[in-house]
């Protein structure tokens, strides 16, 4: 499998090199040059199979011969053995033709574990084989950070630097990161928002001199391996609800768009998907773009669903690349315009997107009402991100006959603010985290400046 950049001007890479990097050298994101496609029979045969088996079959074409089958199967088995549910990602029924895909049974209670448990093991495998060290830099609005730390901290080959926006993640989220006191883990609170943190990470890929030749690796969804591992649960959930014999639809709480882009990729690989619904919080750029062709930045708001407090959505670029018929020049021009001023999509790509995507956004007041209402109607206590999905699924679904699968992206115990505002006492953390609020924390606070962060990384890495 070869990988190309969405901006068309970076060298093609194989899987191993794509895994061990981040942004492409032209500022774009790597995507497969051609996508594998599953036949009807291949999809049908995955129904009822264990999650690890589906994961192997879905991901094998992306990794190709870079890793032998037995080793790859072993890494997959180990990754998903860390999940607390036998099904790894179970589905529960919410109502007629509406299902919740619970992606929060991993070690840090959010969907990020699905990809980052595997990514950490893959990185360790390849770096050990090469006898190389790497520096990870990641930006988090709350969930990627702890999942990346949990997935990578046991590797002797990695130093991990995670940037989170100061005082803009929940207390549980912050503590899940800052109470890991390993020698190779460094948490940095940035005096800014998630977009600032993500810009610093991307800026570091663009200029890596501060690392003196040590490899810089991404754990955010700019890394293709994150997307690859997330494709699996779309296939798993769909085939267990009757695909490919019937279509399904998905609603996805969205921001940096890696999650939904993985679902879109699954559909490009042959999974019959009737509709994708994009759910956003008040940071609604994805909804505005789709609904009113308003692809413009607005001030980033702090909401009750903090993990989705993002304006510059990395993976939307991958979707634009497909919508613009994989024309890297047009994608580069559009994104350059977006950085400077409001942008609009051309008619044909927008029409293509509207044929398969719908969207809705939900304010903080709406999130509180939906958490209450969903509990009253279904008995499920939704986290505030999943609440945006529950709302959007009901508001924007194309029909009532296609099964709708709403992705539950995090456990409510991570977001006490919203849960308490909705009138509940809170949600209990699992026993392994019962003393989280008493544990010692360590983190640095830095200005949102590339040079300050790079100097910190250069000073602290091993
Ligand atoms: C709990 C939760 N829900 C939804 C999202 C949005 O997912 P994505 O960025 O893949 O669109 C995130 C973070 O990205 C998250 O942590
Ligand atoms: N919501 C994310 C933001 C980063 O997204 P990623 O999928 O690109 O890692 C978070 O919780 O950190």
- Domains delineated in the chain: 86-110+224-421 (3.40.50.1100)
What pairs with residue 2 in β-bridges? 14
Q: Which ligand is nearest to the CA of 255?
A: 1
pLDDT along the chain (462 residues), means of 10: 97 98 96 98 98 98 98 98 97 97 98 98 98 98 98 96 98 98 97 98 96 97 98 98 98 98 98 98 98 97 98 98 98 95 96 98 98 98 98 98 98 98 94 96 98 98 96
Task: Kindly state if the Cβ of 114 falls inside 6 Å of ligand 2.
Answer: no
Residue with the smallest CA separation from ligand 2 atom 12 is 140
CB 229 within 8 A of CB 119: yes
Residue with the smallest CA separation from ligand 1 atom 13 is 307
Q: Coil, helix or strand for 306?
A: helix
Give the distance (Å) from ligand 2 centre to CA of residue 16: 22
Instruction: Please choose, from the candidates 423, 420, 391, the residue with its C-alpha nearest in 3D space to the C-alpha of residue 404.
Output: 391
Task: Kindly state if the Cβ of 220 falls inside 6 Å of ligand 2.
Answer: yes
Task: Kindly state if the Cβ of 173 falls inside 6 Å of ligand 2.
Answer: no
User: Which atom, in ligand 2's list, is nearest to the CA of 308?
Assistant: 1
Q: Tell me what pLDDT residue 440 has.
A: 98
Residue with the smallest CA separation from ligand 1 atom 6 is 254
Q: Coil, helix or strand for 5?
A: strand
| Ligand 2 pocket test, candidate residues 143, 174, 281, 407, most atoms within 8 A of CB | 143
User: Which atom, in ligand 1's list, is nearest to the CA of 143?
Assistant: 16
Tell me, what DSSP letter sits at residue 145? H
Give the distance (Å) from ligand 2 centre to CA of residue 384: 15
Please give the model's pTM, rounded to 2 decimal places.
Answer: 0.98
Residue with the smallest CA separation from ligand 2 atom 1 is 307
Q: What is the ipTM of this complex?
A: 0.99
For residue 123, with 0-12 CB atoms within 10 Å meaning exposed, 13-18 middle and 19 or more buried, which class applies?
Answer: buried
Tell me how far apart the alpha carbons of residues 284 and 278 are, in angstroms, rounded to a whole number: 10
Give the distance (Å) from ligand 2 centre to CA of residue 172: 16
**Residue 158 structure tokens:** 């990695």
| Ligand 2 pocket test, candidate residues 23, 29, 30, 112, most atoms within 8 A of CB | 112
The residues annotated as belonging to the active site are 112
What is the separation, in whole angstroms, between the first and last Cα of the chain? 33
Dihedral (CA of 303, 188, 451, 27) sign: negative
Tell me how far apart the alpha carbons of residues 410 and 413 are, in angstroms, rounded to a whole number: 9
Q: Which ligand is nearest to the CA of 144?
A: 2
Give the distance (Å) from ligand 2 centre to CA of residue 181: 22
Strand order in the sheet with 273-280: 91-95, 98-102, 404-408, 248-253, 273-280, 357-361
| Ligand 1 pocket test, candidate residues 110, 142, 253, most atoms within 8 A of CB | 253
Long-range contacts of 7-11 (CB under 8 A, 24+ apart): 7/328, 7/331, 7/332, 7/335, 8/327, 8/328, 8/329, 8/331, 8/332, 9/328, 9/332
**Main-chain dihedrals φ then ψ at residue 13, nearest 5 degrees:** -125, 160
User: Which atom, in ligand 2's list, is nearest to the CA of 112?
Assistant: 7
Q: Tell me what pLDDT residue 426 has.
A: 87
The rounded Cα 1 to chain-centroid distance in angstroms is 22
Residue with the smallest CA separation from ligand 2 atom 9 is 220
Instruction: Please choose, from the candidates 215, 230, 197, the residue with its C-alpha nearest in 3D space to the C-alpha of residue 453.
Output: 197
């Amino acid at each position: 499998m070869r990988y190309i950049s969405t901006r068309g001007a970076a060298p093609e890479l194989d899987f191993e090199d794509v895994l061990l990097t981040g942004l492409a050298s032209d500022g774009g994101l790597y995507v497969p040059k051609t996508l594998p496609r599953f036949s009807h029979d291949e999809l049908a045969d995955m129904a009822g199979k264990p999650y690890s088996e589906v994961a192997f079959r879905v991901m094998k074409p992306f990794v190709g011969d870079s890793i032998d089958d037995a080793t790859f199967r072993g890494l997959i088995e180990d990754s998903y053995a860390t999940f607390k549910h036998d099904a790894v990602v179970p589905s529960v029924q919410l109502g007629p033709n509406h299902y919740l895909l619970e992606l929060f049974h991993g070690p840090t209670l959010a969907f990020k574990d699905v990809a980052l448990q595997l990514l950490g093991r893959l990185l360790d495998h390849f770096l050990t084989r090469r006898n190389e060290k790497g520096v990870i830099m990641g930006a988090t609005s709350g969930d990627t950070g702890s999942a990346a730390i949990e997935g990578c901290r046991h590797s002797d080959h990695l130093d991990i630097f995670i940037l989170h926006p100061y005082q803009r993640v929940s207390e549980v989220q912050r503590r899940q990161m800052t109470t890991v006191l390993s020698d190779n883990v460094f948490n940095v609170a940035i005096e800014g928002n998630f977009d600032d943190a993500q810009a610093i990470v991307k800026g570091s890929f663009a200029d890596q001199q501060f690392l003196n030749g040590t490899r810089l690796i991404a754990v955010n969804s700019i890394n293709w391996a994150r997307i690859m591992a997330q494709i699996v649960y779309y296939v798993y959930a769909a085939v267990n609800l009757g695909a490919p014999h019937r279509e399904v639809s998905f609603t996805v709480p969205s921001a940096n768009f890696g999650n939904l882009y993985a679902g879109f990729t699954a559909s490009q690989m042959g999974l019959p998907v009737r509709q994708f619904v994009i759910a956003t919080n008040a940071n609604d750029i994805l909804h505005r773009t789709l609904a009113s062709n308003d692809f413009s930045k607005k001030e980033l708001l702090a909401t009750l669903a903090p993990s989705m407090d993002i304006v510059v959505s990395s993976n939307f670029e991958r979707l634009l690349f497909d919508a613009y018929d994989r024309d890297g020049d047009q994608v580069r021009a559009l994104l350059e315009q977006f950085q400077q001023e409001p942008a609009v999509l051309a008619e044909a790509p927008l029409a293509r997107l509207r044929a398969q995507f719908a969207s809705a956004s939900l304010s903080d007041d709406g999130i509180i009402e939906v958490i209450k209402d969903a509990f009253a109607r279904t008995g499920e206590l939704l986290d505030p991100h999943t609440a945006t999905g529950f709302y959007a699924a009901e508001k924007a679904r194309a029909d009532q006959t296609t099964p709708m699968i709403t992705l539950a992206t995090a456990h409510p115990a991570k977001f006490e603010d919203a849960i308490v505002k909705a009138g509940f006492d809170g949600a209990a953390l699992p026993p392994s985290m019962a003393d989280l609020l008493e544990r010692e924390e360590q983190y640095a606070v830095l200005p949102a400046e590339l040079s300050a962060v790079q100097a910190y990384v250069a000073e602290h890495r091993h």
